[in-house]
Structure 1
Amino acid sequence: MVTNFISILYVLTATLEDCMGKPTENVIFLHGFLSSSLFWTETVFPNLSEPTKRNYRLFAVDLLGFGRSPKPRDCLYTLKDHLEMIDKSVICPFQLNSFHLVAHSMGCIIALALAAKYLNSVQSITLIAPPYFPSSKESASLTALRRLADRRLWPPLLFASSVMSWYEHLGRCVCFIICRNHRTWEWILSLLSGRRDLNFMIIDLTGHTHHSAWHTMHNVICGGAKLMDEYLEALKDSAVSVNVIQGSRDQVVPLECSNNIKMKVPNAEVNIITNADHNTVVVGREMDFTQDLERTWGISC
């Protein structure tokens, strides 16, 4: 496993030596809001089968403004910005003429945009808890804001989305106190918990700035909502394999979103995981999830 800084995005690639120079399959992983590539490298990567390790190149990306990728203050973090940086950081440098996409939550919007752009290159797209609400372009952004950033205290991710969406000054204060001093807080939590290594999901919660989170929330999650119909229409008429996975107890993205995609793309495969929520649809069932991915890639090749 090799860590690379490609262009300006942080990209972690997993490639075996005997895979170098040989024709291989490629997979790009995109994380969700307030997350990072750790969501994949801590769950999927350790559970890959030996044949997959030999024949696939995996790219786990820290999206612009999150994780270990730069967080420029002069960027509005639009969907176009994210797409351009993935192009410059992964697709162009590694000359990916064919690839699979795997995305979680907010990452699904970016993945669908990539798939629509590279219809002839994408072999399959796996969407985990994709936020999609059919509505007119005029009301799509507001619908997404109201449904995905409801003013609620629980679950924590929904509360964080609410703060980032509706309470700008409060969100700015929280980011100033916690995110800017995240190493200090991580040290304190390590002392209190008695654990040297904190759970990656706790670390990810502080891996952003107020500016990057605020603008990504409004310009990708909400702004991208009005483009979802267009992206799905493109997939509907293509040969791309579309797979949707969501937990039956997801409190962040309504379960209806998966059914909405099925209605828009009739050939999409929808798998509802019983008793799983927004994160435990992957975390806690890593082996089963990874095996499902490998089957999808094998069928799509």
Structure 2
Amino acid sequence: MMWCKIVFNLQIHCMSTANSGDISGDSTENVIFLHGFLSSSAFWTETVFPNISETTKHNYRLIAVDLLGFGRSPKPRDCLYTLRDHLEMIEKSAITPYELKSFHLVAHSMGCIIALALAAKYSKCVKSITLIAPPYFPSSEEGSSLMALEKLAGKTLWPPLLFGSSFMSWYEHLGRCVCLLVCRNHRTWERILKLLTRRRDVHFMVKDLTRHTHHSAWHTMHNVICGGAKSMDDFLETLSECKVKLCVVQGDRDYVVPVECSNNIRTKVPSAEIDIISNTDHCSVVIGRERDFTQYLEQRWTH
């Protein structure tokens, strides 16, 4: 069989460990990876993909997506980056052309919202869902969208990811100025950083922080993270009714997404498997324990 590492950006790149074969074969298992806010497919290709076992390489096709407006994906100025826009991009880039009849989903942070929306739409095709630090807030009188904005984009300076979300959400004009100065000239800043640190390359997480536009980040924050929060109850109910296998992983020191979010999922999906990893935060739940996390995923795909 053929193992593929596919990253969706302006083009589709396929890398295989097999010499030949049909990558669209029905016997191949498919896994779609979705990254979080101010991130890219590198979150997976630099952590999980290098640690995949030989057995999985020969039986699974791994698809890592650069979500619309992030990483190397297109960043159209006339797009509002709604949940529907992100879903359509994944459908047009992966599900339709590769005729995916079944697939597993793995998502981190903001990507969890998109993953749940995708899974609810293709509930008969999804074999399993693994959510890492999902921003889920049950419906309340205050409203899920408002709660998500307050919890995930509160005015704070630390940690950096939370500060970035806050800055993009509350200070639109300042955020636009920063993006014009930094994001538009990200290659120049990366060269300067290489000279200052005397390193050949810049860490992928640092690169990802500038691989977007103000338009794509601001609208995604409000239309997906906040706007999508009000639909998550419906998504989870659909998946619970369809008995889709759902696993949730989060670090007990996550200061970006409250740990209560993972525990809240069990109220909607009692069968969900919740794993709170000690001494890890929003990113170190994956980064720093790549091998253990990859083995965890492989076990969930096969059981």
Describe the SS at the equivalent of 2:81: coil
Q: Distance in 2 between matches of 1:272 and 1:124?
A: 19
Describe the SS at the equivalent of 2:206: helix
Q: Distance in 2 between matches of 1:14 and 1:254?
A: 37
Segment of structure 1 superposing worse, 212-221 or 129-138: 129-138
In structure 2, the residue matched to 1:163 is 167
In structure 2, the residue matched to 1:254 is 258
Structure 2: 5+ residue stretches without partners: none
In structure 1, the residue matched to 2:54 is 50
Is the 8 Å Cα contact of residues 36 and 108 (structure 2) preserved in structure 1? yes
Q: Distance in 2 between matches of 1:224 and 1:45?
A: 29
Q: Distance in 1 between matches of 2:11 and 2:241?
A: 33
Is the 8 Å Cα contact of residues 48 and 294 (structure 2) preserved in structure 1? yes
Candidates 80, 83, 91, aligned match of 2:84: 80
Q: Indicate the RMSD between aligned Cα atoms, in angstroms.
A: 1.7
Candidates 15, 19, 22, aligned match of 1:20: 22
Candidates 199, 203, 208, aligned match of 1:199: 203
- Taking the TM superposition and a 5 Å limit, the aligned residue runs for 1:235-246 are 235-246=239-250
Candidates 113, 121, 125, aligned match of 1:121: 125
- Taking the TM superposition and a 5 Å limit, the aligned residue runs for 1:103-252 are 103-136=107-140, 139-252=143-256
Describe the SS at the equivalent of 1:261: helix
TM-score, length basis structure 2: 0.95
Describe the SS at the equivalent of 2:143: helix
Query: Which amino acid letter does the alignment assign opposite residue 146 of structure 2?
Result: L
Q: Structure 1 residue 2: deviation in Å?
A: 6.5
Q: Structure 1 residue 140: deviation in Å?
A: 1.4
Segment of structure 1 superposing worse, 129-138 or 105-114: 129-138
Structure 1: 5+ residue stretches without partners: none
Query: Which amino acid letter does the alignment assign opposite residue 232 of structure 1?
Result: L
Q: Distance in 2 between matches of 1:245 and 1:5?
A: 24
Q: Is residue 297 of structure 1 aligned with residue 301 of structure 2?
A: yes
Q: Distance in 2 between matches of 1:103 and 1:35?
A: 12
Q: Distance in 2 between matches of 1:153 and 1:10?
A: 36
Is the 8 Å Cα contact of residues 77 and 215 (structure 1) preserved in structure 2? yes
Q: Structure 1 residue 15: deviation in Å?
A: 4.0
Query: Which amino acid letter does the alignment assign opposite residue 45 of structure 2?
Result: T
Query: Which amino acid letter does the alignment assign opposite residue 102 of structure 1?
Result: V
Is the 8 Å Cα contact of residues 5 and 16 (structure 2) preserved in structure 1? no
Q: Is residue 99 of structure 1 aligned with residue 99 of structure 2?
A: no
Is the 8 Å Cα contact of residues 164 and 171 (structure 1) preserved in structure 2? yes
Q: Distance in 1 between matches of 2:7 and 2:36?
A: 20
Q: Cα gap change, 1:236/1:274 in structure 2, threshold over 3 Å: closer, same or farther?
A: same
Candidates 34, 37, 48, aligned match of 1:30: 34
Is the 8 Å Cα contact of residues 5 and 61 (structure 2) preserved in structure 1? no
Describe the SS at the equivalent of 1:123: strand
Q: Distance in 2 between matches of 1:273 and 1:10?
A: 36
Q: Is residue 278 of structure 1 aligned with residue 282 of structure 2?
A: yes
Number of aligned residue pairs: give it. 298
Q: Is residue 263 of structure 1 aligned with residue 290 of structure 2?
A: no
